[in-house]
């Protein structure tokens, strides 16, 4: 029986040094290998011309460089590019590149599906199957960088113009529920012998897994975005089920602790604008009180996200004048507030639209079917969020 090949995309810098040591090689060989893989996009050891022939032959029988295979590749009218990549066992995830003047941002997935099941996110409605490996996470960056270069005719290597300047872990999945592979991938993104990205240019988005936020602060603190989406606990319980475990004050306290280690002096709060649900002036005033609270208040900015509707959610996008009025209340209180421009929605690449193809071991689809049954039986408002005035 042939031994399985070791995928070198699974190793962070320290792990690659250890692997080379096991082969009887010195640490500088690991740096050479890493540069060939992550800066030149090499997928064959024969390409690594400054490695000794004996080492190349050794690697060819024991190791490989294998990123997830591309299933489909679509480019939006606005230049946004979305790849569907195969992560095996019948699962596929989506990776999105967003070009802007002076920078290119890649949105990376960390899980096949998502178990958090936020009400406004179509990814969660696909259910959850499994965590991605390091090679499946960093492999999205590896694949995208060199696909983009190939399209533009830009040579690989540090002399070629880098296409991806920013990475956001905002694709499919909750990164902090796949902690070790996610942080290993982050270390590669930041390493000068790999992608050399600044910690300020790598953002991890979480729905609020408090213990893992503290752990991330100690291990590899990058810029942090928190999916807030509600101004009080009863409302957030219905929109982001994780809130029942880590309620708002606990989450805000964790954000405050994180800032001691973060590369930026603020936390970004993502806020999906839902018509008649979380978009009133009163909700905005509650947010102001929350982030200015003497105990748990935190320096922050708000990123308001126009909701991308999908049938199962039963939700609608806030009207533009309402979004502007909501933003104005926050800005009048001195809080930096932006409204995210919707990009790539013609190829379903906009925020909250990434769904992929997931074997649903959490049976979300089945449960959604039951909900539709109950709504038919008991009326359209069955299971809907209802706010009860205090």
pLDDT in tens, 285-317: 999 999 999 999 999 999 999 998 877 788 899
Q: Which pair of structure tokens corresponds to residue 210?
A: 């408090």
Q: Report d(CA 264, CA 279) in Å as an integer.
A: 27
Residue 102 structure tokens: 């002076």
According to the model, what pLDDT value does residue 384 have?
A: 41
**Cα radius of gyration rounded to whole Å, the chain:** 22
CA angle 196, 177, 315 (to 5 degrees): 105
Residues of the chain with CATH 1.10.150.530: 6-64
Catalytic residue among 94, 136, 145, 270: 94
Grouping H, G, I as helix, E, B as strand and the rest as coil, residue 292 is coil
Angle in degrees, CA 102, 356, 276, rounded to 5: 80
Q: Is 94 a catalytic residue?
A: yes
Is 390 annotated to bind ligand? no
Torsion of CA 182, 183, 185, 189, to 10 degrees: 130
Q: What is the largest CA-CA distance in the chain?
A: 74
183 DSSP assignment: H
Signed CA dihedral, 110, 115, 117, 118: sign only: negative
Q: Whole-number mean pLDDT of the chain?
A: 88
SS3 6: strand
Q: Is the CB of residue 122 less than 8 Å from the CB of residue 345?
A: no
The whole-number pLDDT of residue 238 equals: 93
pLDDT recorded at residue 121? 81
Establish whether 121 is an annotated binding residue. Answer: yes
Single out the residue of 246, 212, 208 nearest to residue 228, CA to CA: 208
CB atoms within 10 A of CB 17: 20
Taking CA atoms, 290 is separated from 182, 211, 230, 300, in Å, by: 30, 21, 11, 11
User: Which residue in 346, 324, 364, 334 sits closest to 118, CA to CA?
Assistant: 364
Strand partners, 155: none
Determine whether the annotation assigns residue 318 to a binding site.
no
pLDDT for res 382: 46
Task: Give tens-digit pLDDT for 313-336.
Answer: 888 999 999 999 999 999 999 999
Per-residue pLDDT, 346: 55
Q: Is 205 annotated as a binding residue?
A: yes
Q: Which of 107, 272, 300, 351 is catalytic?
A: 351
**Confidence grade of residue 119 (pLDDT, cut at 50, 70, 90):** confident
Q: How far apart are CA 296 and CA 289, in angstroms?
A: 10
Residue 309's pLDDT is what? 84
Distance between CA atoms of 228 and 248, rounded to whole angstroms? 9
69-378 belongs to which homologous superfamily?
Aldolase class I (3.20.20.70)
> Does 228 carry a binding-site annotation?
yes
Q: Start-end ranges of CATH 3.20.20.70 in the chain?
A: 69-378
Please say if 270 is a catalytic residue.
no
User: Domain 6-64: which CATH class?
Assistant: mainly alpha
Q: 367 pLDDT exceeds 90?
A: no
């Amino acid at each position: 029986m042939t031994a399985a090949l070791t995928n070198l995309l699974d190793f962070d810098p320290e792990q690659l040094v250890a692997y080379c040591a096991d082969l009887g090689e010195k640490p500088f060989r690991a740096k050479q290998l890493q540069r060939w893989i992550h800066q030149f996009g090499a997928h064959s050891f024969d390409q690594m011309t400054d490695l000794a022939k004996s080492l190349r032959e050794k690697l060819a029988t024991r190791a490989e460089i294998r990123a997830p295979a591309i299933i489909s590749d679509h480019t939006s009218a606005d230049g946004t590019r979305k790849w569907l990549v195969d992560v095996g066992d019948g699962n596929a995830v989506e990776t999105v590149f967003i070009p802007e003047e002076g920078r290119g941002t890649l949105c990376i997935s960390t899980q096949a599906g998502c178990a958090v099941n936020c009400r406004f996110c179509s990814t969660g409605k696909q259910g959850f199957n499994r965590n991605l490996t390091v090679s499946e996470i960093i492999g999205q960056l590896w694949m995208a960088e060199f696909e983009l270069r190939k399209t533009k005719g830009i040579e690989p290597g540090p002399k070629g113009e880098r296409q991806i300047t920013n990475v956001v872990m905002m694709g499919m999945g909750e990164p902090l529920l796949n902690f070790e592979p996610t942080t290993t991938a982050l270390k590669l993104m930041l390493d000068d012998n790999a992608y050399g990205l600044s910690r300020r240019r790598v953002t991890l988005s979480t729905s609020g897994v408090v213990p893992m936020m503290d752990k991330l602060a100690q291990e590899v603190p990058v810029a942090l975005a928190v999916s807030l989406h509600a101004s009080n606990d009863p409302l957030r319980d219905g929109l982001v089920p994780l809130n029942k475990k880590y309620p708002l004050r606990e989450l805000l306290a964790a954000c405050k602790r994180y800032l001691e280690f973060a590369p930026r002096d603020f936390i970004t709060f993502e806020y999906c604008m839902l018509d008649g649900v979380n978009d009133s002036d009163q909700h905005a005033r509650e947010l102001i009180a929350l982030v200015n609270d003497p105990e748990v208040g935190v320096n922050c900015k708000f990123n308001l996200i126009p909701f991308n509707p999908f049938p199962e959610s039963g939700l609608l996008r806030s009207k533009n004048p309402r979004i502007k009025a909501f933003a104005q209340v926050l800005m009048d209180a001195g809080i930096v507030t932006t409204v995210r421009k919707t990009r790539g929605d013609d190829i379903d690449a906009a925020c909250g639209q990434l769904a992929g193809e997931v074997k649903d071991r959490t049976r979300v689809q089945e449960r959604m079917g039951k909900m539709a049954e109950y709504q038919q039986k008991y009326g359209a408002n069955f299971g809907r969020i209802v706010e009860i005035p205090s």
